[in-house]
Amino acid sequence: MSASPHPRLTEDEYLRIERAAEFKSEFYDGRMYAMSGGSSAHALIIPNLAAELRNALKQKPCTVYVTELRLRVVPRGSYTYPDVTVVCGPPAFADNQKDTLLNPTLIVEVLSPSTEAHDRGLKFAQYRQIESLQEYGLVSQSEPRVEIFRRQPSGDWLLSEFIGLDATCSFHSVDCRISLSEIYFQVVFDTLS
C-alpha cells in the first residue's frame, strides 16, 4: 500500500505555516522544503561577507540582509532564504509583515555539497526572473573561489570568477570590491595530501 501524496499548499498556507514555524522552510511549486544546517565554513563565510558588504555600502542607499529574511522569487509560488541579499534603494515587501522581500539588487549563496546543483540550476533560473536582480554570487566553501553572474543590458548573464585568497572580487551592482581573504577570514580549508 502506497502512502497518499501530500496535497500542495497555496502561498497563503505556506506563509501562515512558515510565520509560525520554529525552523525555516523554502517553498516551491506548492511544497515546503526544510532548510538544513550548515558547516562551520558556511557559518563563517556568511557574516564575513555581510560585514564587508555593510562596511563598503555604509555611505550608499543600500541595505544588507542575511539568511533570516525571506525572498519571494517569482511573482507567484516560490520563496527562498538567500544567504546574503542586498537591496539598493527602498526595500519592497510583499505585505505589512515586512518579512518577505521583493526587490533584491544582489543575491549571494554560499555553496554546500547538498545544495550546489540546486543553487546553480533551478534556483538561479528562478532568480533570473526577478527584474531588480543585477548580480548573483556563488561562494565556494571548499576553496577560496567566488563566481559572480552579472545581468547584461541584453538580458544575458556574464560570469566573472575570482580565485585565491589574494584575489579581490568586484560587485558591480553595488559598486564595491571585497578581498577573498576577508570573505574567508578564519575559514580553514581541508588539504589533500
Average pLDDT of the residues in 92-118: 92
Domain positions in the chain are: 37-183
pLDDT above 70: residue 41: yes
The percent of residues above 70 in pLDDT, for the chain, comes to 94
Strand order in the sheet with 25-28: 31-34, 25-28, 78-80, 70-72, 100-101
Per-residue pLDDT band for 6 (boundaries 50, 70, 90) equals: low
pTM score, two decimals? 0.91
| CB contact at 8 A, 56 and 32 | no
Taking the CA atoms of residue 129, residue 88, residue 162 and residue 182 in that order, the dihedral angle to the nearest 10 degrees is -140
Which pLDDT score is estimated for 3?
Answer: 46
Pairing of strands 62-66, 84-88: antiparallel
The residue among 104, 29, 23, 93 whose CA lies nearest residue 63 is 104
pLDDT above 90: percentage of residues in the chain: 71
Work out the average pLDDT over 65-89.
Answer: 90
Residue 193 pLDDT: 44
pLDDT tens column, 51-65: 999 999 999 999 999
Per CATH, is 37-183 categorized as 3.90.1570.10?
Answer: yes
Encode pLDDT of 23-33 as tens digits. 888 898 888 88
CA distance 98 to 92: 8
pLDDT computed for residue 1 by the predictor:
37
User: What's the alpha-carbon Rg for the chain, to the nearest Å?
Assistant: 17
